Amino acid sequence: MNRISTKAVFAVAGCALALTWTTGVLRAQNPADREAILARSPIKAPEVYKNIQVLQDMPASQIRPTMRFMAGALGVGCGFCHEGREWEKDTNPHKDMARQMIQMMHAINKNQFDDRLQVTCFTCHRGKTEVDNMLPITSRAEPLEESNPASRRDADPALPSGAELFRKYVAALGGADAIQKINSRVQKGTVTVRRADRPAATQAQVEIFTQSPDKQSFVTHVEEPTNLLVNGQTGFFFIGDREPEELSLGEMDVARIENNLYLARRWEQDLSGLQALRIDKVDGREVYVVFGQTEDLQRIWFSFDKDSGLLLRILHYHPTRVGRIPAQIDYADYRDVDGVKVPFRWTVSQARGRSYEYQISQVQQNVPMEASQFEE
């Protein structure tokens, strides 16, 4: 069997967190700061990044997802507020306006909603730089379900427990013993990208490299290659030849739960607060909806097929200090490969009408891989 080349490292990430918003952000200024962030120390953003004037009490690990949320809420890129990649400069007036808007938002939440994050940038902007001051004539699409934190329900005692449903899921995949025998997996196929702001879908070849227990790399062959690289406790996002952007703790948790092999092996250790909430439907099939959370990802819903036990949907929110970033992954077309069921199709749905459909044509397992493939 052929050994995987390290050239595969420079390509596109496909996990939901990386494709939500790839806005440029500041990196930790030295390795000691980076290690402190990964250790979940109380280190604050101004101790690591330059020219932080608001959100000074925010953990340094929240800088990147917070920037991404604000870019998505206004429908802009980094250049709307920043000068090139010199992030600390204040020459762009939009940057000072953004600071004022954050202070206004926090004042509203503190004074009107008992300091709960009820109002965000998106509440008014809705993906535009200018806010509307009149009612729209046409109706807008409904947001992803569960978008309101108040919608969380208590567990239904008449349903199986969340742990029981996860154990049924592992059995449906082929059982814990069969899963433990899979040391690596290579998936090849296509990804079709659809965006509400573009008239036609685009398609590219994709390769996904997974190595047990916690390494993964998404590779999409596009004009400007990018790559999501996850290696244990660290992760990076590459865009072409630019300096890699480091993943936050919440983004690392997203990457882990979207790794099917990792989730099947580590759900008991990594997920807490599991509750079976209700019976619902996904694509016409009845599902058990199970709520859970990780240390840095506070709200996750898993939908398991009521009959087969297979996972049909994950819906999660990546929290930031200015709002929650949603993503939904729908799995389909499970096939048996070496005694373990693998989804051959899944769709990542995101805010602002973006979706990424992965169609796998080939799966190889227990393929030797070079350790350097998962290094920065």
**Verdict on whether the full-model pTM lies above 0.75:** yes
Query: Are 253 and 294 a contacting pair, CB within 8 Å?
Result: yes
pLDDT value, residue 148 = 53
Cα gap 271→194, rounded to integer Å: 31
pLDDT of 263 > 90? The answer is yes
**How much of the chain, in percent, has pLDDT values that exceed 70?**
81
Residue 53, token pair as written in the block: 């004037």
Residue 119, token pair as written in the block: 């109002």
pLDDT value, residue 58 = 81
pLDDT value, residue 226 = 63
Lowest mean pLDDT among 93-102, 150-159, 194-203, 263-272: 150-159
Residue 141's pLDDT band, with cuts at 50, 70 and 90, is: very low
* Residue 29, CA distances (Å) to 35, 49, 50, 85 in order: 11, 7, 9, 15
Residue 267's pLDDT band, with cuts at 50, 70 and 90, is: very high
pLDDT of 50 > 60? The answer is yes
Percentages helix, strand, coil for the chain (3-state, rounded to 5) are 30, 30, 40
pLDDT value, residue 152 = 54
> How confident is the model over 12-38, as a mean pLDDT?
44
pLDDT value, residue 212 = 86
pLDDT value, residue 138 = 46
Lowest mean pLDDT among 157-166, 261-270, 328-337, 349-358: 349-358
Cα gap 204→176, rounded to integer Å: 34
Residue 16's pLDDT band, with cuts at 50, 70 and 90, is: low
**pLDDT, averaged across the chain:** 81
